[in-house]
């Protein structure tokens, strides 16, 4: 009883963590299912069919590739624009700072339906054709804010003495940036890019409003939900999940090893 | 930790040494991104407002500039139940998420030790799995013949004898989907609390519960505010959970906006709905931030 009281919080915490993963486990398990009927919602029979033939259903892989293309372009665009804003906000004094902060905050405080529908209203009024570019434009828009806050936090958390030291050692501003500031901020920028990509790749609502007839991976899943989601979709989603998790855990591992090495050489 | 930053805020480094004062460079850095947000966030909102006042031309799907306040009357009189449902469902989901997230955030902040970084990765990991599929997976978990539904039914706890296609499923889905948005800001706030403060409370003979209530909880309020906002806002606009897990009687505002825009092509009413939604959310956010006294959210 005393043991339980002492460990109550860790136990609840771990239960919550398990809860976060239950639906993901369901998605992964059902990727090995041979569904009875159209709807892949209940376990029927083990099968590797979907994994052996990932593109076996028409449209799945096209939509998957489409989402990757949009994700890559939107991430590059959003990360560059957002990083520039973050640098301006942290490193410079200028008029209009609070307006800028508000403009960064508002897209994150606006429900996705409003973001998506307002962009659609604009594109309709301009008679702008919907498709690849309207979706990409929308994705860059919502990625920017997330990049700004992520990179800003990294810049603010940086030890200012490192750059002072570079200047004391006669580095000009350009080399200080290139050899000290940028490498220190880079993990933050990469993290922001990863976040941006996963937001873009997984976005349904904003894309649905601005896609016209274009089919991204989430739009494909939404359409398939009515008539039965192919097992291949579960397999592809599981693959994306495992790969992303490996990338993040790998980065974490490299990072902590580098830190330990730095600490031991400092001591 | 990418997804942490939006809410962590970061520590303020004293300005001075690192801060350069050339405003011109600052504007050059700002202009492209700000222009993008201006063109594709601010201008669309203006466009949304004008669309919400457009008048029909007689041809379906085609509208002309006008001042049709009637669109707003239609939006409210036809869809007020969806508005109420949206705010009730997302309100309940936010409270549930707070209750569920707090122990985990507390555990990671104070008790996780060297596992902290790994646990934080695990908290954001669900974002790497498709939102739609994770939501759809609840159809399997909450299925009528499934373990959870049959157990609760045996205990006579379910008013409709089922979970799927009822508001309970919608709320469960919303709670689950936005949980990481609650955990991360809570963690960020808790992590800044000096554990010695909790010890001090104990040394001064406060029970663990009083210590929590008088020390930890007040200090974690900025995280509670940020977390509830980051959960409530996306949940109230969501229509994925209502569509995939609820019945047609459980539809939310998001559904109304989506069907009016994409199926009925009634752009003015759809825009009016969207604009009302935006106005309500922004009012709630500002009132809430004022009352909670935490303005430094970004």
Instruction: Name the percent of chain B lying above pLDDT 90.
Output: 68
**Long-range contacts from A251-257, C-beta under 8 angstroms, 24+ separation:** A251/A187, A251/A190, A252/B117, A252/B118, A252/B121, A255/A187, A256/B117
Chain A residue with minimum CA distance to B281: A110
Q: Which of A64, A117, A172, A249 best probes binding to B when mutated, by most B CB atoms within 10 angstroms?
A: A117
Is A20 in Cβ contact with B125 (below 8 Å)?
Answer: yes
Nearest to B273 by CA among B252, B287, B245: B252
Is A13 in Cβ contact with B106 (below 8 Å)?
Answer: yes
Is A84 in Cβ contact with B30 (below 8 Å)?
Answer: yes
Q: Let me know: does A224 contact A59? Beta carbons within 8 Å.
A: no
Domain assignment present for B61:
no
Q: Is A50 part of the contact surface with chain B (CB cutoff 8 Å)?
A: no
What does the buried/exposed string (b/e) look like for B7-42 if buried means 16 or more CB atoms within 10 Å of the residue's CB? bbbbeebeeeebeeeeeeebeebbeebbebbeebbe
Residue B295 C-alpha, separation from nearest chain A C-alpha, in angstroms: 11
Which range is most confident: A5-9, A88-92, B123-127, B239-243? Answer: B239-243
Is B123 in Cβ contact with A17 (below 8 Å)?
Answer: yes
Domain assignment present for B59:
no
Residue B156 — left, alpha, or beta (φ > 0 → left; ψ -120 to 50 → alpha)?
left
Domain assignment present for B166:
yes
Distance separating alpha carbons of residues A127 and A214, to the nearest angstrom: 17
Q: Is A68 part of the contact surface with chain B (CB cutoff 8 Å)?
A: no
Q: Which of B103, B129, B277 sits opposite A113 (nearest CB)?
A: B277
Lookup: tokens for B90: 């997302």
Distance separating alpha carbons of residues B77 and B15, to the nearest angstrom: 53
Q: Let me know: does B238 contact B246? Beta carbons within 8 Å.
A: no
Task: Sort out which chain B residues have CB atoms less than 8 A from A152's CB and list them.
Answer: 5, 10
What sign has the CA pseudo-torsion B43, B44, B45, B51?
positive
Beta bridge partners of residue A46, listed in sequence order: A33
The number of folded domains in chain B is 1
Q: Let me know: does B267 contact A121? Beta carbons within 8 Å.
A: yes
Q: Let me know: does A115 contact A208? Beta carbons within 8 Å.
A: no
CATH number of the domain at B242, please: 1.10.3720.10
- Taking the domains of chain A in order of start, what are their residue ranges? 58-229
Indicate the length of chain B as a whole number: 298
Structural domain span for residue B172: 2-9+74-292
Q: How many CB atoms lie within 10 A of CB A79?
A: 25
Distance separating alpha carbons of residues B31 and B128, to the nearest angstrom: 32
The crossing angle, in degrees rounded to 10, of helices A8-30 and B131-141 is 100
Lookup: tokens for B171: 């709320």
- Rg of chain A on CA atoms, in Å: 23
Q: Is A73 part of the contact surface with chain B (CB cutoff 8 Å)?
A: no
Lookup: tokens for A137: 């434009």
Is A110 in Cβ contact with B278 (below 8 Å)?
Answer: yes
B231: pLDDT strictly greater than 90: yes
Task: Sort out which chain A residues have CB atoms less than 8 A from B19's CB and list them.
Answer: 91-93
Q: How many CB atoms lie within 10 A of CB B121?
A: 16
Q: Is A135 part of the contact surface with chain B (CB cutoff 8 Å)?
A: no
Report phi then psi at B236, rounded to 5. Answer: -70, -25
What is the tens place of the pLDDT at every residue in A61-95? 999 999 999 999 999 999 999 999 999 999 888 88
Lookup: tokens for A242: 């495992």
Q: Which of B1, B30, B298 sits opposite A88 (nearest CB)?
A: B30
Which one has a higher pLDDT value, B4 or A101?
A101
* Separate counts of helices (H) and strands (E) for chain B: 15, 2
Residue with tokens 């902040």: B109
Lookup: tokens for B108: 């990671």
Is A118 in Cβ contact with B44 (below 8 Å)?
Answer: yes
Task: Sort out which chain A residues have CB atoms less than 8 A from B257's CB and list them.
Answer: 113-114, 117
- Give the pLDDT band of residue B210 (cuts 50, 70, 90): confident
Q: Let me know: does B36 contact A144? Beta carbons within 8 Å.
A: yes
Report phi then psi at B157, rounded to 5. Answer: -100, -10
- Mean of the per-residue pLDDT values of chain A: 92
- Give the pLDDT band of residue A266 (cuts 50, 70, 90): low
Lookup: tokens for B30: 């700002």
Which one has a higher pLDDT value, B59 or A142?
A142
Residue with tokens 């659609």: A120
Longest dimension (CA), chain A: 72
- Give the pLDDT band of residue A146 (cuts 50, 70, 90): very high
B139: pLDDT strictly greater than 50: yes
Q: Which of A106, A122, A237 sits opposite B43 (nearest CB)?
A: A122
Q: Read out DSSP for A24-81?
A: HHHHHHHTTB--SSS-TTS---B--HHHHTTT-STTHHHHHHHHHHHHHHHHHHHHHH
> Considering only residues 178 to 217 of chain A, which have any Cβ-Cβ distance to chain B shorter than 8 Å?
188, 191-192, 194-195, 198-199, 202, 204-205, 208-209, 217
Domain assignment present for B69:
no
Beta bridge partners of residue A33, listed in sequence order: A46
Q: Is A110 part of the contact surface with chain B (CB cutoff 8 Å)?
A: yes
Lookup: tokens for B298: 């970004």
- Give the pLDDT band of residue B13 (cuts 50, 70, 90): very low
Pick the CATH number of A58-229 from 1.10.3720.10, 3.90.480.20, 3.10.28.10, 3.40.50.720: 1.10.3720.10
What is the tens place of the pLDDT at every residue in B78-101? 999 999 999 999 999 999 999 999
Chain B residue with minimum CA distance to A148: B6
Q: Is A254 part of the contact surface with chain B (CB cutoff 8 Å)?
A: no
The pTM for the full model equals: 0.90
Distance separating alpha carbons of residues A24 and A17, to the nearest angstrom: 12
Q: What DSSP state is assigned to residue B129?
A: S
Task: Sort out which chain B residues have CB atoms less than 8 A from A111's CB and list them.
Answer: 233-234, 236-238, 254, 277-278, 281
Regarding an ipTM greater than 0.90, the answer is yes
Those residues with Cβ within 8 angstroms of residue B192's Cβ, 6 or more apart along the chain or in another chain? B219
Domain assignment present for B88:
yes
Instruction: Name the percent of chain B lying above pLDDT 70.
Output: 91
Q: Is A125 part of the contact surface with chain B (CB cutoff 8 Å)?
A: yes
């Amino acid at each position: 009883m005393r043991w339980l009281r002492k460990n109550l919080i860790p136990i609840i915490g771990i239960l919550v963590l398990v809860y976060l993963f239950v639906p993901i486990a369901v998605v992964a398990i059902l990727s090995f299912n041979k569904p009875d009927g159209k709807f892949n919602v209940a376990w029927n029979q083990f099968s590797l069919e979907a994994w052996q033939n990932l593109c076996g259903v028409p449209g799945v892989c096209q939509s998957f590739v489409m989402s990757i293309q949009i994700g890559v372009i939107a991430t590059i665009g959003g990360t560059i624009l957002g990083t520039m804003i973050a640098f301006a906000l942290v490193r410079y004094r200028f008029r209009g700072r609070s307006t800028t902060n508000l403009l960064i905050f508002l897209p994150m405080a606006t429900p996705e339906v409003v973001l998506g529908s307002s962009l659609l209203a604009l594109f309709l009024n301009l008679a702008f054709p919907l498709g690849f570019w309207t979706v990409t434009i929308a994705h860059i828009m919502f990625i920017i804010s997330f990049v700004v806050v992520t990179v800003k936090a990294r810049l603010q958390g940086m030890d200012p003495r490192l750059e002072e030291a570079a200047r004391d050692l006669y580095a000009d501003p350009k080399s200080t940036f290139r050899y000290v500031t940028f490498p220190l901020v880079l993990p933050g920028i990469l993290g922001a890019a990863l976040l941006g990509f996963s937001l873009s790749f997984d976005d349904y609502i904003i894309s649905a409003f601005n896609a016209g007839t274009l089919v991204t991976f989430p739009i494909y899943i939404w359409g398939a939900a009515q008539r039965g989601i192919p097992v291949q979709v579960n397999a592809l989603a599981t693959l994306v999940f495992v790969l992303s998790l490996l990338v993040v855990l790998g980065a974490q591992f490299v990072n902590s090893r580098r830190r330990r090495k730095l600490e031991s050489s400092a001591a | 930790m990418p997804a942490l930053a939006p809410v962590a805020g970061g520590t303020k480094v004293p300005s001075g040494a690192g801060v350069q004062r050339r405003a011109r460079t600052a504007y050059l850095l700002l202009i492209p991104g700000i222009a993008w947000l201006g063109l594709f966030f601010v201008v669309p909102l203006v466009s949304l407002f004008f669309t919400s006042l457009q008048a029909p031309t007689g041809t379906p799907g085609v509208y002309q500039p006008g001042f049709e306040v009637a669109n707003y009357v239609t939006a409210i009189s036809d869809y007020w139940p969806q508005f109420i449902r949206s705010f009730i469902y997302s309100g309940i989901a936010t409270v549930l998420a707070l209750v569920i997230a707090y122990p985990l955030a507390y555990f990671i902040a104070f008790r996780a030790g060297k596992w902290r970084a790994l646990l934080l990765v695990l908290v954001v990991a669900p974002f790497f799995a498709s939102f739609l599929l994770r939501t759809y997976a609840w159809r399997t978990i909450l299925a009528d013949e499934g373990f959870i539904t049959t157990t609760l039914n045996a205990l006579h706890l379910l008013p409709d004898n089922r979970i799927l296609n009822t508001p309970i499923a919608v709320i469960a889905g919303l709670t689950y989907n936005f949980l990481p948005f609650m955990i991360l800001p809570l963690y960020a706030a808790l992590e800044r609390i000096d554990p010695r403060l909790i010890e001090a409370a104990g040394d001064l003979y406060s029970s663990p519960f009083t210590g929590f209530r008088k020390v930890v909880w007040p200090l974690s309020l900025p995280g509670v505010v940020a977390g509830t906002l980051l959960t409530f806002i996306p949940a109230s606009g969501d229509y994925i959970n209502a569509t995939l897990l609820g019945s047609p009687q459980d539809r939310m505002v998001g559904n109304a906006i989506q069907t009016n825009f994409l199926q009925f092509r009634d752009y003015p009413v759809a825009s009016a709905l969207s604009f009302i939604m935006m106005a309500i959310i922004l009012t709630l956010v500002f009132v809430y931030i004022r009352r909670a006294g935490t303005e430094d959210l970004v």
